[in-house]
Structure 1
Amino acid sequence: MTARAFISYSHVDEAYLERLHKHLSVLMREGLLETWTDHAINPGAALDQSVMEALGSAQFFIALVSPDYLASNYCYEKEFAEAQRLSDQGQLHIVPVIIEPCDWLNSPFRKIMALPKDGKPISEWTNANVAFLDVVTGLRRLISSQKASEVRPAASAFGTSAHARRIKIKQEFDSIQRQDFADQSYADIREYFERSCSELDGIEDLKARFNLLSRHRPEQRKSSSENDPQAEAEEAAAEGAGHQQNLAAWTIGRLRREGFGDDADIA
């Protein structure tokens, strides 16, 4: 079943709407999503009636939130108000997409998980296409979860009861698995700081550089932990935490040397 999305936007933000549709093209081509905007209203049609009918048949309400959107009486007080009513009845899922910096955190949108990631406005991303990709990824995940929830009740008719017990089995991890976990954790932390520095470096008047610090090899660990898997796991965890602190300290120190601000500003 194709999901239907009502896109609410200010006409001042038409360029963002056009760009969003381009990024949604794969979802739409796959038959997973179709969108509705006021462009679909025929000349001479009753505006309010057309909008309310479209809202009533939609599963998702995508709001392109900006200063102009919040200032629009029709977008905010008509479309969004009706979307809230339908959402409270469980008939509609509201998805705010923050396109420009605005006071949305002091609006009802603050109660809803926004896109892109962390509600960072699209206009503030170094590459707007990356921001739109994050929006599309979030919508694809939402559509998949909606489809999964529709399938679950049907499964119970074939013997999969909603109240079936889930058996939990405790898993024991050997020293190799623990070391693999520590290595992966270190790689994830390293990737996080590398991406953070890359994002900072893309901001005007701010410089950042990522340097990979040396890491102790497993054979350099104390012999006291060689035959103690628990002690080895604790050392691996402590080592990963130490590298995270070192990377964070280096990043903060670098920013301070570049004149970004004091510890309070950086935190």
Structure 2
Amino acid sequence: MAKLFFSYCHADEALRDRLEVHLSLMKNQGLIETWHDRGITAGSNIDTAIDQNLESADVILLLVSADFLASRYCYSIEMNRALEREAEGTARVIPVILEPCDWHTAPFGKLLAVPKDGKAVTTWPNQAEAWTDVAKQIRKAVEGMARVAPKAATLMGRGFDPGWDIARPVADVGQPAASSAMQALGQSAQERPRSSNLRLKKEFTDFDRDKFLHDTFDYMAKFFSASLDELAARNQSIQVRFLPLAGQAFSATIYREGKTVAECSIRVGGLGRGSSSLSFSYSADAGANSFNEMLTIESDSQAMHFKPMGMQFHRGEQNSQLSEQGASEYFWGMFIEQLQR
């Protein structure tokens, strides 16, 4: 069983929890066990506990974000030791890119990062797809290590360390095994073993849902405004207009040589469903109860997401769990396809 160590900043704890959920199958299959600093018991020496688990880890996951890079402990201590162990061949280091940040020139920048192509998890339209890719890559690494382990054990049995090219004596057989066991017991007596899997089902309040909804709407407005500006900058024949509307709504219009070729409006709520949804209309001046698609808030045991109502079946995303980025891309795709078909 491979031991995974999470090196992360506490600002990213919610994302770490999501990753741990996606690693659950490997835990259940007996492939891995995980450890992070939330596994430290009260009264234990924090630095000692982290050092011991960092040294005993087979795989070290660097959960990379701007907060991680700004953390002195994560960057200067945990990351440096992780890379030393990677260079020694005693551990595998896998950078997991959580958020967009300037990580390519960091010391771990030469390592292959996950998810695919180093695209940050939070920028994927469907974060579940990103976490699935991360989990698959970790599984591949762990299974690869498991295949190498029997060969290494054979060499060690002959008195060789597979990390070196010369013979090394096997451990002193004159020392009683019980003595080693008692020493190990004494070293761990102050820290009782327990699971790091202590996350509980999260309950989301009306406030949480409202905040998620309005934060996503604000993000979507900025997303559309910036995308329109970039579209106009790349195409000389295109003019655009972004217009905030009353009642938490905005419209977007694209003109080609002065003629309207695409338009839409997006607002909070719709069809008497209160403020728990975002609605999309192909009309720039549609009424509050007129829409062509709607995103509603749903949640699982750990996070909230948006689910399309399913009125645009040809898009094939009616079952998606969309983040604020994914929701914005979903509505933008409906809008821009008027120029693409």
Query: Quick check: TM above 0.5?
Result: yes
Q: 1:16: which partner in 2? A: 15
Structure 2 runs not aligned, ≥5 long: 156-314, 317-325
Q: Could you tell me which amino acid in structure 2 is paired with residue 207 of structure 1?
A: G
C-alpha displacement at 1:204, in angstroms?
Answer: 5.8
Cα deviation, 1:81-117, whole Å, max 9, x if unaligned, reads 1111111111111000001000111211210000000
Q: 2:333: which partner in 1? A: 207
Cα deviation, 1:16-50, whole Å, max 9, x if unaligned, reads 01111111110001110100100111222112111
- After TM superposition, the structure 1 stretch with the greater mean CA deviation from structure 2, 81-90 or 65-74, is 81-90
Cα deviation, 1:100-147, whole Å, max 9, x if unaligned, reads 000111211210000000000000001100000000000111111111
Q: Could you tell me which amino acid in structure 1 is paired with residue 121 of structure 2?
A: I
Q: Name the CA distance, whole Å, in 2 between partners of 1:81 and 1:121.
A: 22
Q: TM-score, normalised by structure 2?
A: 0.46
Contact conserved, 2:8 with 2:63, CA < 8 A, in 1?
Answer: yes
Contact conserved, 2:83 with 2:108, CA < 8 A, in 1?
Answer: no
Q: Name the CA distance, whole Å, in 2 between partners of 1:6 and 1:102.
A: 22
Contact conserved, 1:122 with 1:131, CA < 8 A, in 2?
Answer: yes
Equivalence map 1:227-246=2 (5 Å): none
Q: 2:140: which partner in 1? A: 141
Equivalence map 1:246-265=2 (5 Å): none
Structure 1 runs not aligned, ≥5 long: 157-193, 210-253, 259-267
Q: Name the CA distance, whole Å, in 2 between partners of 1:48 and 1:153.
A: 31
Q: Could you say what secondary structure the match of 2:104 adopts?
A: helix
Q: Could you tell me which amino acid in structure 2 is paired with residue 126 of structure 1?
A: P
Q: Could you tell me which amino acid in structure 2 is paired with residue 85 of structure 1?
A: E
Q: Name the CA distance, whole Å, in 1 between partners of 2:66 and 2:36.
A: 19
Q: Name the CA distance, whole Å, in 1 between partners of 2:144 and 2:330.
A: 39
Q: 1:93: which partner in 2? A: 92
Q: Name the CA distance, whole Å, in 2 between partners of 1:89 and 1:108.
A: 15
Q: Could you tell me which amino acid in structure 2 is paired with residue 79 of structure 1?
A: E
Q: 1:76: which partner in 2? A: 75
Cα deviation, 1:244-266, whole Å, max 9, x if unaligned, reads xxxxxxxxxx99x66xxxxxxxx
Q: Could you say what secondary structure the match of 2:67 adopts?
A: helix
Contact conserved, 1:65 with 1:98, CA < 8 A, in 2?
Answer: yes
Contact conserved, 1:201 with 1:208, CA < 8 A, in 2?
Answer: no
Q: Name the CA distance, whole Å, in 2 between partners of 1:113 and 1:39.
A: 27
Q: Could you tell me which amino acid in structure 1 is paired with residue 329 of structure 2?
A: I
Alignment: residue pair count:
174
Q: Name the CA distance, whole Å, in 1 between partners of 2:104 and 2:153.
A: 39
Q: Could you tell me which amino acid in structure 1 is paired with residue 13 of structure 2?
A: E
Q: Could you tell me which amino acid in structure 1 is paired with residue 7 of structure 2?
A: S
Runs of 4+ in 1 over 6 A off after TM superposition: none
Equivalence map 1:18-167=2 (5 Å): 18-152=17-151
Contact conserved, 2:97 with 2:121, CA < 8 A, in 1?
Answer: yes
Backbone CA RMSD of aligned residues: 3.0
Q: 2:175: which partner in 1? A: none
C-alpha displacement at 1:155, in angstroms?
Answer: 8.4
Distance 1:143 1:94, change over 3 A: same
Q: 1:215: which partner in 2? A: none
If each structure's helix is expressed as a fraction of its own residues, which one has the higher value? 1
Q: Could you say what secondary structure the match of 2:145 adopts?
A: helix
Q: Could you tell me which amino acid in structure 1 is paired with residue 47 of structure 2?
A: D
Identity of matched residues, %: 36
Contact conserved, 1:201 with 1:207, CA < 8 A, in 2?
Answer: no
Q: Could you tell me which amino acid in structure 1 is paired with residue 63 of structure 2?
A: L
Contact conserved, 1:60 with 1:95, CA < 8 A, in 2?
Answer: yes
If each structure's strand is expressed as a fraction of its own residues, which one has the higher value? 2
Q: Could you say what secondary structure the match of 1:126 adopts?
A: coil
